[in-house]
Amino acid sequence: MSRKAILFDLDGTLTDSGEGIINCAILALEHFGLPIPSREDLRVFVGPPLRDSFINHGVPADKAEEAIAVYRSRYIPIGKFENTPYPGIRELLDTLQKEGHKLYIATSKPEGMSKDILEHFGLAQYFTLICGATMDASRSTKEDVIAYLLEASGERENMIMVGDTKFDILGAKHHGIPAIGVSWGYGAVADMVEAGAAAIAHSAEELLQLLRK
């Protein structure tokens, strides 16, 4: 078994962050008097950059930063902890680390918030680097975050991405990195397959076996 550098998405892959993200998205949409979709429909806020999601839900482009500020007024103190690790994730990370793989976080969530969440759940210890977006959106897409991670880590060989949306698959593909999709998150399996996912895992145990190949 070769040792890999494994890049993990955070929201929808390691932790189920939907409750906090959706609660804060509702607050921001209410701020603008916009229609509030069902909580099921608001699941699309989990994963992609917030700016894009707010614009897609009727916030004028020139007001997107205001929407993000309203969102973060609740998310930073409360929403980021309305969150829980998925079953088997802690055991997965522990096993991979003991087997000698290097583990990284590549998320479009702001880096500081990502570190807070991972530390809160006792997961930060498993990662060599935690790489995320910047608060000013100068680094926001998955492609941007992975580019930043590659430069910071010096890693180039035997890498693989794990994520729950097509954005994870496409972001990795942009850098020539294969990706495994997970079905328990917030993206559609069909979209990940279409984007070029090398495989789809349906449990942490299945993901472990795929990563060992």
Active-site option among 9, 11, 16, 168 = 9
Instruction: Determine phi and psi for 92, rounding to 5 degrees.
Output: -60, -50
Report the distance separating Cα 52 and Cα 45, nearest Å.
9
Assign residue 37 the CATH number of its domain: 1.10.150.240
What integer pLDDT is reported at residue 1 of this predicted model? 65
Mean pLDDT of the 104-125 span: 96
pLDDT digits (tens, 9 = 90+) for 20-65: 999 999 999 999 999 999 999 999 999 888 999 999 999 999 999 9
Domain of residue 163, residue span:
5-16+84-212
Mean pLDDT of the 127-149 span: 95
Please check whether residues 128 and 25 belong to one and the same domain.
Answer: no
Please check whether residues 124 and 138 belong to one and the same domain.
Answer: yes
Total number of domains in the chain: 2
Please check whether residues 51 and 138 belong to one and the same domain.
Answer: no
Assign residue 122 the CATH number of its domain: 3.40.50.1000
Q: Residue 177: which pLDDT band, with cuts at 50, 70 and 90?
A: very high
Helix (H) or strand (E) segment spanning residue 16: strand 15-16
pLDDT digits (tens, 9 = 90+) for 71-95: 999 999 999 999 999 999 999 999 9
Please check whether residues 12 and 116 belong to one and the same domain.
Answer: yes
Q: What is the pTM of this model?
A: 0.91
Report the distance separating Cα 43 and Cα 25, nearest Å.
10
What integer pLDDT is reported at residue 23 of this predicted model? 98
What integer pLDDT is reported at residue 137 of this predicted model? 82
With a cut of 90, say whether residue 119 has pLDDT above it.
Answer: yes
Please check whether residues 169 and 196 belong to one and the same domain.
Answer: yes
Please check whether residues 62 and 123 belong to one and the same domain.
Answer: no
Please check whether residues 99 and 148 belong to one and the same domain.
Answer: yes
Q: Residue 128: which pLDDT band, with cuts at 50, 70 and 90?
A: very high
Task: State the chain's mean pLDDT as an integer.
Answer: 96
94 among known catalytic residues: no
Please check whether residues 178 and 205 belong to one and the same domain.
Answer: yes
